[in-house]
A and B are shown apart, each in its own frame.
Chain A
Amino acid sequence: MKRVLLSLLVAFGLLGSAFAQQPGSTLVVGMSILPNTIDSGDANDSNAIAVTRQIVERLVELAPGNEGLVPGLASSWEANADSTEWTFHLLQGVRFHDGTPFNAEAVKFSLDRWNDAANPYHFGAEGKAYVGWRNLFGGFLGDGSAVSEVVVDDEYTVTLKLTRSISFLPSLLAGGYFGFDSPAAVMAAGANYGTPSVGSVGTGPYRFERWEEGSRVVLTANTEYRDGPPPTETVVFVGVSDPTARLAQLKAGALDIAAAISPSDLDSVLSDPNLELVRGEGGLNTSYLAMHQNQKPMDDVRVRQAVAYAVDRVAIVDAFYAGQAVAAEDIIPDSLWGHADGVGAYPYDPAKARELLTEAGYPNGFDTELWYRNSGLEPVIAEAIASYLADVGIRAALKTEDWAAFLADYMAGNFPLYTLGWNADFADPDTFIYTFYGPQAVRRFGWNAPEVVTLTQEARQVPGQAERAALYAQVVTAAHEAMPVLPLAHQSQFFVVRKGVTGLVPNPLGAFPVLAGTSKAQ
């Protein structure tokens, strides 16, 4: 019996060497979860967009490694004087993977499909939600949408007519949601377009091969890609929800690239000679501690300021981010413009915090709740914040719930304190300022400051950066004083890869890079 067991073990051991290394022309990417859909307009989460980015392309693309914009399927674009009409000049001779031509009609087809709930290919009743479109363009046609009409000027020119001025429209279109699908493929597949059995058809460097439910999405190189075929023949996306299991699989050689690795795991990455950290500069994201003013005593500005003084953000960033983040000065990351001169962060000063609490009538502190999401670094950071707050007498009970419930509760103003993060949708201060201090501020933080909201809206209308910067400086200063939300950290974007993987450049927006130039050495 023992001998049989031993020989079985040896046999498996021999087999073991076979699974670890794949041929060099395959890249295996580990995500936290497989896409919900790969219909790009309907794809909402970063995992889905990571896959669609390889298959479909956008009019405007993010420059690799920085927040700039570069031509995509549009070679150039221009706006009228008040930014209410944008004209895009398209690349010529581009074909979809199914052989049909890419042209102005195809652009109009997709834009109309996303924008118009009555469009026959919208499939809203079948469950397609177009969350990206709803959120970035304000809704659907006639119901809040900023796009009123898409006009085909000629075969390779298309114009978007807007209901309001948007000076950063190209930035919006470069977001991951708006990749162009083959109209023929959408018409053929109907509501099933983008599901595992059908997949999607675009113009990108990889074409959809197959999608095995719950296991993997397989893409193959588009050999007719206009910039030449990508160096890797097959890209496989797998979903591993547990970050530790994901890292373990990378270490065991079952993955080549792992996304969404927690900075807390980097110690074991850096000590592994087979792994490498690929790091991008200046992540456009902010993690924060919000203080909801619907909940007493957060309605007292002195209490909110006391919280800001009580938390040692620098020590927290040093302890947990493994050098992959900087302590936030304000809500806008340092690499973007829009800051206010002379307005820095609150220093760590527990004595000052206690003083403010006494002034506010809480010499012995108070009991409250701190809510956090149970993923990545968030639990330890919440714990660290709670223990800093305890030092000044604020006894915050730590609480969490699943994401669906969390979203509903924080939007309803049920949490006195909560930690969350925000990832920029596009590289413009607007995505931070408008999100945090715009009309949603009442809902997010219970901060009711109409004059500040007006400033954020005004800044959307004026075209020049200098004028907008002046308005943003006022907003940032007001927020610094009222302290509805304490910015904590800006994290850099990084991936962990196996040694030999080259040509992977993280983008500051956190969008998964297009793998057109990524390969693995043999």
Chain B
Amino acid sequence: MSTDQVAVRERRKAIGFVLPALVWTLCFFVLPFAFMVVMSLWQRIGTKIVHTWSLDNYAAFFAKPHFLQGLVNSLEITLSVTVISILLAYPLAWIIAMRIPERWQRAALILAILPFWTSYVVRSYAWMLVLARSGIINQSLLGIGIIDEPLELASTRTATIIGFVHFFVMLLTLTIYANLKQLSPNYARAAADLGAGPVRTFIHVILPLTIPGVMVGAFLTFVLCIGDYITPQILGGNKELVLPQIIMLQIGRRADLPAASALSILLMLVVTFVYVLSARWLKLERA
């Protein structure tokens, strides 16, 4: 047998390994996406889906103010959540990585992400309990006399943001911790050796070195947050809808799959756009 034949046979075998996963991805990911694109170009008229091609569903997004407002709400909430979560998680990750003795770090970290393992739906529900008019926060504040009237916390944008921040503080603590641990302690030692105090060591050495990792976490937060339906649906009180809620409204109550598809594709475009932006930013940061 010649060398070429061996190579061909080896390659055929290798393709056999990858093929099941590829076929699966094509059938249940690529194909559905193609169907969604096609669907977004059709119309729902009455209860029927009419196969005429047009961009009306996309035009509707810009024509109907509540669609556009949904995107604005989504972006505002997602951005606040991302920024607040990073600001809260970074110090915690730093304390766990730098201040807690090595052998307790794993325990501290597991503790910090333990509520991760409550069901996603249940977690939002639990925040509803905490923030309710007669919930634990209002009752405590009333009890010690800081307020006279219960605060309207539940069913607001604030509640949505709190619910999200809770989730992403855990996620970001984990990723930033991993990032900090990857740094050789010699960086900080070298900076101290050369005369930098703890603050300047942090600002000039530790922070710049961890920014790429933080950016990855921030992007992950952005993507998961902007695509989420549950938290705003449970905690947001249906006053200000975000894009996923509007999409679910089209699917559920209105059975308008074409509109839902168009909105989903727009949502994907927003995420892609942010990805391109942040990818470029990351590269600039490294150069």
A joins B in a complex: no
